[in-house]
Amino acid sequence: MNTLTVDSLELKGKKVLVRCDFNVPLDDDLKIRDDKRIVDALPTIKKVIKDGGKLILMSHFGRPKGQVVPEMSLKPVAERLGELIKKKVTLTPDCIGEEVKAIADGMKDGDVVLLENLRFHAEEEAGDEEFAAQLAELGEVYLSDAFGVCHRAHASVSIIAKYFTQVASGYLLRNEIEYIGGAMKDPKRPLATILAGNLAGNKISSKIDVIMKLIDISDKIFIGGGIANTMLLAQGIEVGKSLVEADKVDVALEILKKAKEKGTKILLPPDMLCGKEFKNETELKYCDTDKQDKEWIAMGIGPKTVQQYKDELADCKTVIWNGPMSVFEFPNFAKETFEIAQVIADYTKGSGLISIIGGGDTAAAVKTAGLDGQYSHISTGGGAAMEYMEGKKLPGIACLSPKGFDGRRKFLIAGNWKMNKTPREAIKFAKELKKAMPNDDNVEIMAAPVFNSIYPVYQELKKTHIDIGSQDVFWETSGAFTGEVPAKMLKLTGVKYCIIGHSERRQYFCETDQTVNKKIRAVLKEGLVPVICVGEKLEQREAEIEKDVVKGQIKGALSGIEIKDNLNIVIAYEPVWAIGTGKTATPEQAQEMHEYIRELLKGIYGELFAASTRILYGGSLNAGNAKDLLSRKDIDGGLIGGASLKKDDFKAIADIARGIEK
């Protein structure tokens, strides 16, 4: 994932909004029991203060379910943080509103403010756009260090990012991305994965997806803890009174089968540590796995297993450790878990093993062993780490690389309503679209109403997968410019895409490549996406200068704009002679021009940018010709006029896009 980190941003004098995870455990008297989560965020916090930023921290705390619950105030966190950084930390009375805004606006460089619990507002967990926009109003730069909630599309975690031009990960999140992301994508091999879990806790059923993924990428899998019992049972080994998930034996068999197919070596424990009863003060003994005493309970791995795993780890370059090897919470049963913890710490120090410790129980185990700090990385996320390892896209990370330069292009089916539909008609139409349009991860939909219908249409569509576009924008931010609308105001009324340089604006409203360029800059500054229209007139095509014309328009539009200017654009090729005329470019003509445009982009911004940027076709696109056009290699969607005004036609085009695989 190509996220920027805090190191690449200019923070001096800026209000820096940082999402942290300060959800620390409290004792009954509301004192913090473990401040690890606050301590983990300190590197980013100190960096912002040192660079002269105005630090505005935000976090959730507990599950107040949208109510103000005084016991879930972040007050203890503000106090503890103040002690740790030896600085005043101002806790705001709420996380949004006029009073909070005034506090943020009154900050001096290096000041620290903590916003009150985000989850006092139900809108946080609902991912509400307006709530996110209100939070965003407080800052100029957005940083995230809240890995533990990155798998949630909450307002302050992912939705908020689109309101900023400068977004980045803090150090905590950067480490998670580097270590977990790195190990999953391009691990140093051999890669060993330890899959375990204490007997009362993590179960095979809750881990199946991540297990399958880990089998895919690992060279060796070591099994321990509770999972071992179910795996052994699946192999016909009697496990007596030990805790197993008897109904998951088929899953265990599937795991063994997949490992065999993949050639991943699975190591099951040759011996176990067993207890007479499931408690600390009980008799204990070691048994060979195939000769377990049915009256005893397996509580962990035995010494032969520790030795075997130690030997097998010797040649590994990466290890991912998920779940303790025994019930380490009972001191009498902790030894083998701690021994494995020691082995991994030794290899990390001795032979440069990259050691990644999963969150939750495993992190607690190495801490109890007194070995935390001796590994390459200890994850701060439980559920988030699991989903990240599964290969899922985490909203809290994906939103930090809005450019998404990964060479993939989603279809964009965009409706330009031009000067059609009254507000009432627009709302009615939005309601129809909401019901009708396919919800598909591979096809994005956009609707661009007349200016005065943007907000009501946004209200209808804001919780859907249909994004809002504007048909134009002005480059200034405010002031005496009668009749104009700036990018920021568009953003605040829900706009994501701005159509710029449409041929009708070039023809009737004196739009030039220079004004197009200014508008693009203004739009990028607000973190919006310009849809830049280019295309030749009929006489230019007849004179066979269409490519020169388009080249001039592209170069003029993007003149002086660099990738670091938050560049994230869509190009729309709309041959003027095809707009509203019923004439379409043939698929061959369109593909040829699209390929040419991509080459131009490659020349300016490089291969990855060009391969990631969508180029739409526009000009009498309809349900009848969409399949031929959209199937072409370089055509990534449509900017549709007439056919976007009728629900069935627009839907038919989106459905066609959905059916095309490239």
Name the residues that contact ligand 13P, by CB under 6 A.
416, 502, 574, 579-580, 618-621, 639-643
Cα–Cα dist 472/69, whole Å: 45
Query: Minimum Å distance from CB 503 to ligand 13P?
Result: 7
Cis peptide before 324 (omega within 30 of 0): no
Q: Quick one: 177 or 500, whose CB is closer to ligand 13P?
A: 500
Query: Minimum Å distance from CB 575 to ligand 13P?
Result: 10
Contact assessment for residue 121 and residue 156, using Cβ atoms and an 8 Å cutoff: no
Query: Minimum Å distance from CB 504 to ligand 13P?
Result: 7
Q: What is the DSSP letter of 180?
A: I
283 is catalytic: no
Cα–Cα dist 92/176, whole Å: 29
Helix (H), strand (E) counts: the chain: 26, 23
Active-site pick, 124, 546, 574, 594: 574
Nearest residue to ligand 13P on Cβ basis: 641
Q: Quick one: 1 or 645, whose CB is closer to ligand 13P?
A: 645
Cα–Cα dist 222/639, whole Å: 53
Q: Quick one: 377 or 632, whose CB is closer to ligand 13P?
A: 632
Q: Quick one: 125 or 649, whose CB is closer to ligand 13P?
A: 649
Active-site pick, 123, 502, 504, 511: 502
Q: Quick one: 165 or 420, whose CB is closer to ligand 13P?
A: 420
Contact assessment for residue 325 and residue 196, using Cβ atoms and an 8 Å cutoff: yes
574 is catalytic: yes
Q: Quick one: 187 or 641, whose CB is closer to ligand 13P?
A: 641
Could you give the C-alpha distances from 529 to 156, 403, 451, in angstroms and in order?
21, 10, 17
Contact assessment for residue 257 and residue 353, using Cβ atoms and an 8 Å cutoff: no
**β-strands 271-275, 297-301 pairing:** antiparallel
Q: Quick one: 154 or 505, whose CB is closer to ligand 13P?
A: 505
Strand ranges in 225-314 using DSSP code E only, listed in sequence order: 265-267, 271-275, 284-288, 297-301
Beta bridge partners of 267: 222
Query: Minimum Å distance from CB 533 to ligand 13P?
Result: 7
Q: Quick one: 284 or 520, whose CB is closer to ligand 13P?
A: 520
Within 10 A of 626 (CB to CB), how many other CB atoms are there? 26
At 457, list the tokens: 């249409």
Q: What is the end-to-end Cα distance of the chain in Å, rounded? A: 22
Half-sphere exposure of 628 (CA within 13 A, CB side): 11
Q: Quick one: 427 or 645, whose CB is closer to ligand 13P?
A: 645
Which residue in 73, 44, 70 sits closest to 56, CA to CA?
44
Q: Quick one: 64 or 638, whose CB is closer to ligand 13P?
A: 638
The owner of tokens 């297990």 is 211
At 501, list the tokens: 């340089």
Strand ranges in 235-279 using DSSP code E only, listed in sequence order: 265-267, 271-275
Contact assessment for residue 411 and residue 657, using Cβ atoms and an 8 Å cutoff: yes
Cα–Cα dist 602/610, whole Å: 5
> Does an H or E element contain 220, and which?
strand 220-223
Q: In what order do the strands lie in the sheet with 141-144?
A: 89-91, 112-114, 54-58, 15-19, 141-144, 167-169
Q: Which long-range contacts (CB under 8 A, 24 or more apart) does 5-8 make?
A: 5/168, 5/169, 5/170, 5/171, 5/174, 6/44, 6/47, 6/48, 6/143, 6/168, 6/169, 6/170, 6/171, 6/174, 8/168
Q: Quick one: 518 or 646, whose CB is closer to ligand 13P?
A: 646
Cα–Cα dist 445/21, whole Å: 33
Query: Minimum Å distance from CB 593 to ligand 13P?
Result: 15
Q: Quick one: 143 or 653, whose CB is closer to ligand 13P?
A: 653
Phi, psi of 83 (to 5 degrees): -65, -40
Q: What angle do CA 169, 170, 173 make, to 5 degrees?
A: 75
Which residue in 622, 626, 650 sits closest to 433, CA to CA?
650
Give the residue numbers marked as catalytic: 502, 574
